[in-house]
Amino acid sequence: MIYFDNSATTKPYKEVLDTFIKVNESFYANPSSIHSFGGQVEKLVQQSRQQVASLLKIKPKEVYFTSGGTESNNIAIKGAAMQYGHRGKHIITTKVEHPSVINTCKQLESLGYSVTYLDVDSSGRVQPCDVKGAIQKDTILVSVMHVNNEIGTIQPIEEIGSILNQYPKILFHVDAVQACGKVPMALSNDHIDLCSISAHKIHGIKGTGILFVRDGLELSPLFTGGEQEGNLRSGTENTGGIVSFAKALRIHSEESLHQLSALKEIQQFLREELMKIENVTVHTPFDHSAPHIVNFSIEQFKAEVLIHALDRHHVYVSTTSACSSKQSKPSRTLLSMGVSEKIANSSIRISLSFQNTMNEAEEFIDLLKKEIIQLQKTMRRSR
């Protein structure tokens, strides 16, 4: 099997699975219970919070555990909009955000907020000057993803943060779900107020994530109840998920230190080999791109046809983001970049992890070439 769909989800580390099982078997008490067993579990949660904070170089009280990237994005955007709506009701984002950001903003529009959706250039990158130009007197939030989940473009987060530092009443939210462990991120130095990370993108367990909330910032909670997570995210804590998240982040951070260069080599090989194939367009930019994503189109075929052909060889790739892949719509990101609808309908995403090898990349290219030839023969016979 060749698994090249890691931007959709990653295979959990064995150590993470072992931790998840052990915690749920041996430390199953409710962390809010006042007996000693509950106290032991609460201590595990706080130790995990401290470990995550240490790895991300932030304060423990700035770490809020959630169910994943979608919830973190919703809490950040809706929580900020509801808490600071008295300041204004204008939000700035881009046209290439994850659905959990785009659809959250659309929902807020139905509640009386106004949203500016910024264009991107042909590489999928928003211009910092466009962010500055979109700021209004009533702007309260800017939300921009760090790494695009479809084509891998790295957004100019540091430059945008520097601009927004001049506007202390405008909050800056960054969706770093695809960036964590692959692209350097300095939460304390890039003037970021809110940041979303998901466990299952870094070989953790599905259903766990974090939201970084800068110290001193208040958000309106989406869930009210038992006042867990500083009253921002009520509900009994997923202790196994939280502890295993900290484990996954630690292992993934260590792998990033030692294997990032190998990941870049595999990406470069795939990009170069794809560009040699006739009628192939590589959409992932050479500059400003994350090392684990390669997005390309083959003009003659719809993406689903080629994906099913590769599936027969147990080779797994994807089309757009996993959250949108079953909608049979062309990539919103590629259309925003000026790619034609026909080419956008043919786009395929390869997404790598530190577990993938150059041998897998070579085998993938060979299989792809063979399947293209076979599909071309089938097309000619059907005419």
Return d(Cα 383, Cα 377) in angstroms, integer. 10
Q: Which residue has the higher pLDDT, 301 or 201?
A: 201
Nearest to 338 by CA among 94, 98, 122: 122
Q: How confident is the model at residue 176 (pLDDT cuts 50, 70, 90)?
A: very high
Question: Is residue 171 scored above 60 in pLDDT?
Answer: yes
Question: Is residue 46 scored above 90 in pLDDT?
Answer: yes
CATH architecture designation of domain 2-6+259-382: Alpha-Beta Complex (3.90)
Inter-axis angle of helices 99-109 and 69-83, nearest 10: 30
Question: Is residue 74 scored above 60 in pLDDT?
Answer: yes
8 A C-beta contact, residue 64 and residue 229: yes
* pLDDT at res. 73: 98
Return d(Cα 383, Cα 375) in angstroms, integer. 13
Question: Is residue 322 scored above 70 in pLDDT?
Answer: no
8 A C-beta contact, residue 98 and residue 145: yes
Nearest to 217 by CA among 195, 194, 248: 194
Q: How confident is the model at residue 326 (pLDDT cuts 50, 70, 90)?
A: low
Average pLDDT rounded to a whole number, residues 111-125 = 97
* All residues at 6 or more sequence positions from 371 whose CB lies less than 8 Å from its CB, including other chains: 306, 309, 310, 313
Helix (H) or strand (E) holding 256: helix 239-275
- What are phi and psi for residue 169, nearest 5 degrees? -95, 0
Question: Is residue 321 scored above 70 in pLDDT?
Answer: no
Using alpha carbons only, give the angle 314, 319, 323 rounded to the nearest 5 degrees: 105
* pLDDT at res. 249: 98
- What is the topology classification, in CATH, of domain 14-251? Aspartate Aminotransferase; domain 2 (3.40.640)
In the chain, the percentage of residues whose pLDDT exceeds 90 is: 87
Q: How confident is the model at residue 323 (pLDDT cuts 50, 70, 90)?
A: low
* pLDDT at res. 328: 62
Helix (H) or strand (E) holding 209: strand 209-213
Tally of helices (H runs) and strands (E runs) in the chain: 11, 12
Q: How confident is the model at residue 87 (pLDDT cuts 50, 70, 90)?
A: very high
Least confident of 112-126, 241-255, 307-321, 367-381: 367-381
Average pLDDT rounded to a whole number, residues 88-98 = 97
Active site residues: 323
Question: Is residue 190 scored above 80 in pLDDT?
Answer: no
Return d(Cα 87, Cα 139) in angstroms, integer. 8
Dihedral of CA atoms 87, 90, 94, 97 in degrees, nearest 10, equals 70
Read off the pLDDT of residues 350-369 as tens digits, 9 standing for 90 and up. 999 999 999 999 999 999 99
* pLDDT at res. 327: 56
Least confident of 165-169, 316-320, 332-336: 316-320
Average pLDDT rounded to a whole number, residues 74-94 = 97
* pLDDT at res. 11: 97
Q: How confident is the model at residue 245 (pLDDT cuts 50, 70, 90)?
A: very high
Taking the domains of the chain in order of start, what are their residue ranges?
Answer: 2-6+259-382, 14-251
